[in-house]
Structure 1
Amino acid sequence: MKKQIIIAAVFLNSAAAFAQQYGGMWIPTEVNEKEMKSLGMKITAKDIWSTDKPSIKDAVVQFNGGCTAEIISGQGLLLTNHHCGFGQIQEHSTVDNDLLSNGFWAKDMNGELSNPGVTVDFITDIKDVTMQVFANTQNLGEKEMAALIKTNIAATIAGFKTNQYQKVMVKPMYDGNKYYAFVTETFKDIRLVGAPPQSIGKFGSDTDNWVWPRHTGDFSMFRIYADKNNNPAEYSADNVPYKPKYFLPISLRDKKENDFTFVFGFPGRTTEYLPSIAIEKVITDIDPAKIKVREITLKTLDEKMRSDAETRIKYSAKYASVANYWKKWIGEVEGLKKSNAVKKKQDYEMLLEQKNPEIKNTISKFNSLYNSQAPFALNNAYYGEVIRNAETLRLANYYINYVESKENGKMTPEMETRFSQTITDFYKDYDSALDAKVTAQLLALYQQKTPAEFLPANFDQYSDINKNYSTVENWSKNSLISGRGDLNGKKADKDIAALLGNPKFIETIKKDPFYKLAKDIKENYMSKVDGKFNDYQSQINALQKNYMAQLMATDKDRKFFPDANSTLRVAYGQVKGSDPRDAVHYGYQTHLAGVMEKYVPGDYEFDVPKKLIDLYATKNYGVYKDATGDVPVNFTATNHTTGGNSGSPTLDANGNLIGLNFDRQWEGTMSDINYDPRFSRNIMVDTKYVLFIIDKYADAKWLLNEMKLVK
């Protein structure tokens, strides 16, 4: 035991040399101002968050529910990642007008493109409502407490005075030990202003994804429109550019190692306070299962996308989505192993047990629960990924849910309309013959990796991939679900509404082999796995809440932040390179010269537009070069980020925009679970590169005229 405690102390001492031992995603009303200032921040916490005056929070928005964006002009100009706006760029692209390949730059506001359904959310207020949510819940049983908390949350929300375009959401923090209310304001008229071609915005594509050194101009530009009173409104030609309370000045200054930075955005999900047994299961079971399913999917899609332009456009956003976390999980497993995360947690648990003996009992319960849940958790991972990536089976599940709702009388006209739209949108980017190949392979994998007792009867017939190719393709040719078969001349991928209106539709769809297969798989999963998995998970969640309370009560030397949950957060750190492996050092900054070093003419991932080559050849860099004489492209820092931070502004000590967060370094992707200051680095587009592309490449100087540049 003494040896383990010494090891932990050695690690803590080595980590203390870095800016943040544990990282941190801080609620903006509770930032760690003292440490931020000790690292070099010049502004105050009230400059970051204030409801009494304009502050930086008034320029930071959640983009379309999943990314972050920032306002960079007094006319509502938004900056976010290229990959965050990718779906909208794709939506406006055709084979004849390929904005993905060619880029897009509006010549003026009249040329900006509308994007129905895209939203931007501001956070206008944050309140700690823990006392209101827990009122009268003392000494209640678990179910009674959960019911009263739900009632209290509804009453808390009802107690806020809001405008019609505002809403209130209450979110648990610290594994349910505290609750916060967030007042949001949603804008719905968001127009595409500009985007570089994907040879810039997605340079390096999947090969470089999660990788450093990086050379990607991952940015796109939108604009918020409002009604004539500057309030949110549905799209209208009469709407005008939104006038923000605050917008971010943009810095043209060079960066230096150890410069203070902070990131402001909407990180999606982290689990920093898991016990060691949970991390062990991620490494050995859960991540490897998900990686394998996506590996098969990606290889099959890639072969077709590289040989067919129509497929490439149709599947570009989908492929990027699948590939993103596939590669992240690979890095996460490697990073957790390299940072010795399980041992690190075990040592920390032992230290805590010396201070609080109750924690030993908690850890013992965790070990028992996670080990009992393990076979069900593994099948849950395989089932979820197979149904997600075998798109024909996912479609079949949509139809199963529709039929069941129709037959039990729960299908309303509104639900039917939404279903029709969902299915229509799905078929638009779906290739049934291509997915038949994916589905055939994933059926074989699911059969091989799932215990027989969890599978439908006779499922071993799907063990042979080659037989599956023939079977699935033959089904697909005549299937209503695949869109290749028809009912009285009507096809699902052409006119779903007419098909649903046919009185024989339900009878016919229930005979579809994909419907029957998906139903068999689902029913076996639900009856044999789902209930057990969720029962154990409920017990784990309750224990995690208790463990979190124990941690905060026991470790008085540690300042705790809540795990990410898609709410507004501040992370901070320093500009830094890294030493990810023995004798390997990464600098903190890349340049345009590095783009040209990677350039491969005609390559799917590493081609470069001729104009960019010419700008490099003539060194026509203007004010955007740094002290090296080259244009900086990307840089790294120790800010603690995750999914959802894509598009987040990176700001300097004075609150000026210096970069646009878009990725993490592969060696540190385990930071969702185990932030390690030695390896955890976020990757950002340098504002100099963004401005260089807008000015010199796109010749969109009218946009620069809106901005406030700090030289």
Structure 2
Amino acid sequence: MNRLKFYLWALVALVMTGAARADEGMWLLQLMQQQHSIDMMKKQGLLLEANELYNPNGVSLKDAVGIFGGGCTGEIISPEGLILTNHHCGYDAIQQHSSVEHDYLTDGFWATSKEKELPTPGLKFTFIERIVDITDIVNKKIADKEVSEVEAMSRNFMQKLAEELYNQSDLKGKKGIVPQALPFYAGNKFYLFFKKIYTDIRMVAAPPSSVGKFGGETDNWMWPRHTGDFSMFRIYADANGEPADYSASNQPLKTKKFLKISIKGLKGGDYAMIMGFPGSTSRYLTVSEVKKRMEAENAPRIRIRGARQDVLKEAMAASDKVRIQYASKYARSSNYWKNSIGMNKAIIDNDVLGTKAAQEAKFADFAKANHQADYAEVVNRIDKLVAKTSPLNYQFTCLTEVFFGGIEFGNVVLSTTRQALEEKNDSLVKVQMSKLTKVFEEIHNKDYDHEVDRKVAKVLLPLYAEMVPAEQRPSIYKFIEDKYKGDYSRFVDDMYSQSIFASKANLEKFMKKPTVKAIDNDLALMYCQSKYDKFNELSKQLKNMDNELALLHKTYIRGLGEMKLPVPSYPDANFTLRLTYGNVKPYDPKDGVHFNYYTTTKGILEKENPNDREFVVPAKLKELILKKDYGRYALPNGEMPVCFLSTNDITGGNSGSPVLNAHGELIGCAFDGNWESLSGDINFDNKLQRCINLDIRYVLFILEKLGNCGHLINEMTIVE
């Protein structure tokens, strides 16, 4: 009887406590009923059953959501495989199709029929076919000494196990099926995902950047927002509806599930949930680890990316060709540059360090009360390791940001070619020579400008020297000091002009008469070898400590979960399918300031600046706004909604995710978080954290009135 009373009390406490913090959490769909998160959702306003959200034995909303490309979410909005995602998620594809002659970034793209939809090589859409709990299998292998605890969390072991289980499954040999196994809760749980990947994805619709990126870098992470951040693509499949590479005979996929679209409107307090693939969070860090994130990762990233972006921005402003080439690269870089700035600010403003310190103190009391020696020592052991790894992490961040994310040239090592020449292996030399032209083309691809990259190198090489002590730099710095008297500009000019891969003429000259001496004297090859040597050196130094840290986190997160019971815990994001629920809600960022929960097209005209590329309003859109020609998508007062806020818990990877109402109908598309919430990857703030969403009514308005794509709307099921 006492056990029953305790269980009932625990269940009530769980639901009540969950309601108090209902907006925090990236919940695993497969644990909704076990963790009672479905009960918390219903208490918040959900009008669906658990099996309508996720049904392992049937069709559910889960089957209308997938991974778009390699880092975003997309949703199916018609029975013919039509995908809705963000403009910034489709940006690579839009840029891929763009040229000075066909500038879809500036002008937009609207396919007026399926025949005009553009095949997009390399783009994929991934559904989750099945999710399997493999925790017992992994733990047995650990117990049987087949694998260590650390190895069990490694990518190599997880992939090997995934392949092993795939080969034993009924999905073996099925088209497009790819298995992936991953650790959750820092290795306390493990799941296997069977993914179904479609590779014939075609571009259907993309508004001009003056709509899809309205506000640009200035408005990124900010509210109020007026960005029409959407694009549309379509999945094509073979005659049987199975994944297939591009073929003119492929047909639009007849999807087993698509989302209905609600234009009934929304109001403050309405239930809102988001299903998607959040990329990465670190909610269970200690105080010392948060400081490491600020000082060893964010701070150097801010400085290095800022310097590179200044070079790119100037070059892009001077040339339409360069603007198109570097548009996507710049957007990717600036997004997390500004995120890092905002995160460091929000950590201080929101007293995240104080919150983490309080959690550690509470955990220490819990460990002491429960006589848990492992828990009592774990934070102190983490802190000691962090003190050792932080300086190395700082070096690693500087190295990767400059040499692997900043400077593009100098990424080739001709070690095999050199060995073949030294051994006078003529047949191997011939094979290697045949590969060099392809290597050159990969370097000098359509999105690379050698002179722009030269300018980037001239800025970043000396900046790195300012940030990293001489004894910690790659060996190329000693060479520059000795041979060039520290003149980085002269070294860069020589490398970018004289290297084998600097020009087609240089390559052809080398291929006519390849020599070991030419390879040994090549500055770009020397530079490349030195950066890889430093990368490997740092990786080796960090490996054992990172492994030890992983095991300590496994203990710490298990303990935190036990401390929170009966309230359930969710695992950190790892780009797997999650659900977050909350409400449409305004917020007050500071004293005397109130932000409403929605914006309208009125704000577009208020922000308009014809002299600022970020705030240009297309003439046709301005005409529609001035005439209030909004059709059935307007608010009752005649205004046109653009974006709205909700309390959903999202992060990168959720971009493009569907925002659903209590009936599971699509009301918007998630695309950003607010400035005040940028510490949210580390600590969720119930008062300030907001998700910025694009109102589906604005999407349909732009599609119909600006893009003249009524045929696409006719594919959809609209709920009025």
TM normalised by structure 1 equals 0.90
Asked if the contact 1:43/1:654 (under 8 Å) is kept, the reply is yes
Closer/same/farther in 2, CA of residues 457 and 269 from structure 1, 3 Å limit = closer
Q: Contact 1:69 / 1:647 at 8 angstroms: preserved in 2?
A: yes
Residues 157 and 170, structure 1, Cα contact 8 Å, conserved in 2: no
Q: Check 1:54–1:336 CA distance in 2 against 1; reply closer, same or farther (3 A cut).
A: same
User: In 2, distance between residues paired with 1:179 and 1:226?
Assistant: 32
Question: Aligned to 2:143, which of 138, 143, 151?
Answer: 138
- d(CA) in 2 for partners of 1:100, 1:175: 41
Asked if residue 322 in structure 1 is aligned to residue 333 in structure 2, the reply is: yes
Instruction: Quote how far apart the aligned CAs of 1:697 are.
Output: 1.0
Q: Is the 8 A contact 2:27 2:578 kept in 1?
A: yes
User: Which of residues 110, 118, 121 in structure 1 aligns to 2:123?
Assistant: 118
Match for 1:365 among 381, 385, 389? 381
Note closer, same or farther for the CA distance 1:505–1:125 as it changes in structure 2 (3 Å cut).
farther
* Residue segments in structure 1 that go unaligned for 5+ positions in a row: 1-14, 491-498
In structure 2, the partner of 1:573 is: 582
Any conservation in 1 of the 2:22–2:44 contact (CA below 8 Å)? no
Which residue of structure 2 aligns with residue 481 of structure 1?
A: 501
Looking at structure 1, the residues matched to 261 and 23 of structure 2 have their Cα atoms a distance apart, in angstroms, of 29
Partner residue in 1 for 2:654: 645
Return the match for 2:558 from 549, 552, 555.
549
CA–CA distance in structure 2, aligned partners of residues 293 and 119 of structure 1? 31
Q: Which of 294, 300, 323 lines up with 1:312 in the alignment?
A: 323
Compared CA separation, residues 226 and 525, structure 1 to 2 (3 A): closer
Q: Structure 1 131/401 Cα, relative in aligned 2: closer, same or farther at 3 Å? A: farther
Residue number in structure 2 paired with 1:469: 489
* Structure 1 stretch displaced more, 236-245 or 547-556: 547-556
8 Å Cα contact 2:609-2:615 kept in structure 1: yes
State the alpha-carbon separation in 1 of the partners of residues 535 and 298 from structure 2: 20
Between the aligned partners of 1:204 and 1:416, the Cα distance in structure 2 is 47
CA contact (8 A) 1:589 1:634 kept: yes
Distance 1:50 1:213, change over 3 A: same
Report Cα offsets for 1:143-183 as digits up to 9, x if no partner: 48737965655433332211132122111111111111111
Cα drift, residue 568 of structure 1: 0.9
Compared CA separation, residues 346 and 101, structure 1 to 2 (3 A): same
Q: 1:668 to 1:642 in 2, by over 3 A?
A: same
Counterpart check, 1:90 vs 2:90: no
Choose the corresponding residue for 1:266, options 277, 283, 295.
277
Matched, 1:277 2:288: yes
Contact 1:444 1:462 in 2 (8 A): no
The answer to whether residue 44 in structure 2 is matched with residue 44 in structure 1 is no
Residue 390 of structure 1 is matched in structure 2 by 406
- What SS class does the counterpart of residue 427 from structure 1 fall into? coil
**In structure 2, how many angstroms separate the alpha carbons of the residues matched to 1:107 and 1:332?**
42
Compute the displacement of 1:308 (Å): 1.4
Distance in 2 between the 1:40 and 1:412 partners? Answer: 69
Residue 411 of structure 2 aligns to a residue whose secondary structure is helix
Which amino acid counterpart does residue 523 of structure 2 have in structure 1?
P
**Structure 2 CA distance for aligned equivalents of residues 704 and 107 of structure 1:** 12
Q: Which residue of 2 aligns with 1:523?
A: 533
Inter-CA distance 110–506: structure 2 relative to 1 (3 Å threshold): farther
Once the two structures are superposed, residues 502-534 of structure 1 have per-residue CA deviations (whole angstroms, 9 ceiling, x without a partner) of 66177534422122123234324533x332222
Question: Offset of 1:553 from its aligned partner?
Answer: 2.4
Alpha-carbon spacing, 1:437–1:705, altered in 2? closer, same or farther (3 Å): same
Quote the residue 1:513 is aligned against.
Answer: 523
The change in CA–CA distance for 1:571 and 1:304 in structure 2 (over 3 A counts) is same
Q: How big is the shift at 1:559? A: 1.3
Name the counterpart of 2:29. Answer: 28
Number of residue pairs the alignment of both structures matches = 684
Partners in 2 of 1:170 and 1:450 — Cα distance? 38
Contact 2:175 2:243 in 1 (8 A): no
User: Cα 1:243–1:416, aligned 2, differ >3 Å: closer, same or farther?
Assistant: farther
Quick check: 2:413–2:529 contact (8 Å CA) kept in 1? no
CA-CA distance at 1:586 after TM superposition? 1.5
Distance 2:517 2:418 in 1: 12
Give distance in 2, aligned partners of 1:415 and 1:542: 47
Partner of 1:298: 309
Q: Which amino acid aligns with 1:551?
A: L
CA-CA distance at 1:306 after TM superposition: 1.2
Map 1:168-247 → 2, pairs under 5 A: 168-247=179-258
Structure 2 counterpart of 1:62, one-letter code: I
Do the aligned partners of residues 121 and 274 (structure 1) sit closer, same or farther apart at CA in structure 2, a change above 3 Å counting? same
RMSD: 3.0
Check conservation: 1:254, 1:627, Cα contact below 8 A. Answer: no
* Correspondence for 1:445: 463
> Which SS does the other structure have where 1:156 is aligned?
helix
In structure 2, what residue type is equivalent to 1:351?
A: K
Letter in 1 for 2:533: E
CA distance in 2, matches of 1:569, 1:405: 50
Distance 1:367 1:167, change over 3 A: same
1:17 CA displacement: 11
Letter in 2 for 1:459: Y
Query: Which sections of structure 2, spanning at least 5 residues, go unmatched?
Result: 1-15
* Equivalent residues of 2:26, 2:649 under 8 A apart: yes
Relative to structure 1, the CA distance from residue 243 to residue 17 in structure 2 (aligned partners, 3 Å threshold; closer, same or farther) is closer
Pairing of 1:70-109 with structure 2 (within 5 A):
70-109=75-114
1:584 to 577, 593, 602: 593
> What is the SS of the residue equivalent to 2:456?
helix
Q: Distance in 2 between matches of 1:52 and 1:262?
A: 22
1:20 maps to amino acid = R
C-alpha separation in 1, matches of 2:277 and 2:516:
42
Query: Residues 507 and 684 from structure 1, CA distance in 2 versus in 1: closer, same or farther, beyond 3 angstroms?
Result: farther
Give the superposition deviation at 1:575: 1.0
Matches within 5 A, 1:430-441: 430-441=448-459
Q: 2:619 is matched with which residue?
A: 610
More moved, 245-254 vs 436-445: 436-445
Q: Distance in 1 between matches of 2:209 and 2:419?
A: 42
Q: AA paired with 2:634?
A: K
SS of equivalent residue, structure 2 residue 376: helix
Q: Deviations over 1:484-516 (max 9, x none)?
A: 7613358xxxxxxxx6xx661775344221221
Task: Indicate the SS of the match to 1:590.
Answer: strand
Alpha-carbon distance in structure 1 between the residues aligned to 2:104 and 2:700: 20
Q: 1: distance between equivalents of 2:117 and 2:525? A: 43
Q: Distance in 2 between matches of 1:400 and 1:542?
A: 39
TM-score w.r.t. length of structure 2: 0.89
Secondary structure of 1:672 counterpart: coil
Distance, in Å, in 2 between the alignment partners of 1:406 and 1:640 is 55
Cα separation, partners in 2 of 1:593 and 1:399, compared to 1, 3 Å = farther
Tell me how far apart the structure 1 counterparts of residues 696 and 623 of structure 2 sit (CA, whole Å): 21
Amino acid at match of 1:369: L
Q: Which of 655, 662, 674 is the aligned partner of 2:671? A: 662
In 2, Cα distance between equivalents of 1:550 and 1:645: 28
Paired amino acid for 2:612: D
Structure 1 pair 191–382 and aligned structure 2 pair: CA distance change class (3 A): same
Counterpart-to-counterpart distance in 1, 2:704 and 2:466: 55
Partner of 2:11: none
How far is the alpha carbon of 1:24 from its aligned partner? 0.9
